[in-house]
Amino acid sequence: MTSSPADDTPAEETFRPEARAPRGFADKRARDLRAERAILEAVSAVYERYGFEALDTGAFEYADALGKFLPDSDRPNEGVFALQDDDDQWMALRYDLTAPLARFAAQNWETLPKPFRRYAFGPVWRNEKPGPGRFRQFIQCDADTVGSARPEADAEIIAMAVEGLEAAGLPRGAAVLKINNRKLLNGLLTAAGADSAGQKLAVLRAVDKLDRLGVEGVRLLLGEGRLDESGDFTKGAGLKGKAVDQVLDFVAAGAGGRAATLDNIAKVIGGSAEGDEGLLELSRIDAALTSLGIADDQAFIDPSIVRGLEYYTGAVFEAELLLSTTDEKGNKVSFGSIGGGGRYDDLVARFTGTATPATGFSFGVTRLAAALRAAGREPGGAARGPVVVITFDQAHMGEYFSVVGQLRAAGIAAEVYLGTSGMKPQMKYADRRGAPAVVMLGGDEIAAGTVTIKDLDAGRMAAQGLADNAAWKAERPGQQTVARDQLVGVVRKIIEG
């Protein structure tokens, strides 16, 4: 008997994709989600207390609404994730929460209360190279006022940012808001004789490196250029003697409180029309912050702050983390900026052609949660799993579910173990879940109408040496058998203890 050609064909191998997350997209378990939720709830409460309205816009915007990410090729995916709709229009996942606000305000301006005060939070997406602590998807939280040109609107955003960050878990002294003004910088550039756009940008980039390079490093970049440790040469802004000193005097003017800093700045750039306008705006911001109870150690004027100056039109501000932070290996890490914002009076005008003043603040929730954790301040508190009901016998499953239902009805998170392992692995499971307690019902307990409760929290505390005295152990026994009707009270005492 001869075989057919089909008999000689090897069986096709089953394709098994590699289990991997795309680069820059992180999986988050309960600990991360709890931390982000705690931050958002705390900050949202502050925003609402200031009278800001919640707004949620869609994940996608038309690509031509995203400002600098206008489509300039067949597929506009430079910096954003874009796709073409069935009507041939390009859409992109939102890059931030500000561009959608500008589009929403322009689209609904006639029906909105003016000024329009809104806050928003949610994921944003950036088609950029990922790296340590740099993701392609992360959570932002913003608050903005659209329709007010008053510097006091900037001051209120700053005050709200200070209070919001404290509510999120950064007590006074753990972070600071640094304030500057685009108009001051423009006045400085005029006074320093920086004429071309390229030279102005070079000056601003040099100033932005003050924290990293120090005064002398910035001095070189303001002049002919700087040779770094690797031997690479960075061409400087080309300013000469007196102009270089003027810029350095400006960035050094931030010593002291807000009022003293304003006096120092006035000596450097006074007489420049735009600079004087910036000084007046900062003076009004200072007065409003003082009235709002925001002290110099919570928000101060720092002339070295440079934030996206092609975007901002007036006041700019940046939140800096002051806490000492370490990674999981105990190495020191620097988070630096954890949020920022400023005045952007030209964004809505892209849609309407009419200048519409706006100011706002944004911080990365994902980044802030990581910073708090690195500082030993777990957002949302320690992990709290459900109470676990141990299973011994399939015949008693009805009793186990009766107990778990009793706990849930009382508002206590609880679950019946539904694996197939024995007693010891079930206890290990409960510990890994962070369960405060386990409930055990054997045949004797069921017959007697009782339950045995093991306090896992007490065990953890004792293991850490936090509860080694007899009085404490007597007050909080590690294991006890109680009547079924006492179950909820005993478990609640363990959780609240």
Please determine, for residue 497, whether its predicted confidence score (pLDDT) is greater than 90.
no
Q: Is residue 4 part of a domain?
A: no
Give me the amino acid identity at 168: A
pLDDT on residue 9: 53
Same domain, 435 and 478: yes
394-424 pLDDT per residue, tens: 999 999 999 999 999 999 999 999 999 999 9
Could you report the per-residue pLDDT of 186-230, keeping only the tens digit for each? Answer: 888 887 777 777 888 888 888 888 878 888 888 998 888 888 887
What domain range is 490 assigned to? 387-496
State how far the alpha carbon of 105 is from the alpha carbons of 57, 325, 356, in Å.
11, 39, 10
End position of a domain, from candidates 341, 374, 407: 374
> Is residue 49 assigned to a domain?
yes
Mean pLDDT of 166-185: 91
Residues 334, 269, single domain; the answer is yes
Give me the pLDDT at residue 53, please: 97
Task: State the pLDDT at residue 69.
Answer: 47
Residue 137 scores a pLDDT above 90: yes
- On whether both 155 and 182 belong to a single domain, the answer is yes
Q: With a cut of 60, say whether residue 176 has pLDDT above it.
A: yes
The pLDDT tens digits for 287-321 are: 999 999 999 999 999 988 887 656 788 999 999 98
Q: Same structural domain for residues 110 and 152?
A: yes
In terms of domains, do 354 and 398 share one? no
% of the chain residues with pLDDT over 70: 90
Q: Choose one of 374, 396, 417: the last residue of a domain.
A: 374
**397 shares its domain with 370:** no
What's the pLDDT at 72? 47
In this structure, the answer to whether residues 190 and 255 fall within a common structural domain is yes
Q: Are residues 331 and 391 in the same domain?
A: no
Do 86 and 59 sit in the same domain of this protein?
A: yes
* Position 426 in a domain: yes
Query: Is the predicted pLDDT of residue 335 greater than 80, yes or no?
Result: no
Q: Which two tokens stand for residue 393?
A: 């016998």
Q: What is the mean pLDDT of residues 339-355?
A: 90
pLDDT greater than 60 at residue 2: no
Last residue of a domain, one of 350, 374, 398: 374
> What are the backbone angles phi and psi of residue 476, rounded to the nearest 5°?
-130, 80
Indicate whether 329 and 477 sit together in one domain: no
**What pLDDT is stored for residue 391 in this prediction?**
96
Is there a domain that residue 56 lies in?
yes
Q: Is residue 441 assigned to a domain?
A: yes
Residues 153 and 264 placed together within one structural domain of the fold: yes
pLDDT of the residue at 42: 95
The domain that holds 426 is classified in CATH as 3.40.50.800
Tell whether 22 is covered by a domain. Answer: no
Percent of the chain with pLDDT over 90: 53
- Tell me the pLDDT band of 70, cut-offs 50, 70 and 90: very low
Domain co-membership, 212 together with 260: yes
Q: What is the pTM of this model?
A: 0.83
Question: Across 42-56, 247-261, 354-368, 370-384, which has the greatest mean pLDDT?
Answer: 42-56
pLDDT higher at 77 or 55: 55
Q: Is 292 part of a structural domain of the chain?
A: yes
| Domain count across the chain | 2
Interval 148-166 mean pLDDT? 96
Higher pLDDT, 5 or 240: 240
Above 80 in pLDDT, residue 121? yes
Q: What is the CATH number of the domain that holds 204?
A: 3.30.930.10
Q: Per the domain annotation, does 19 fall within a domain? A: no
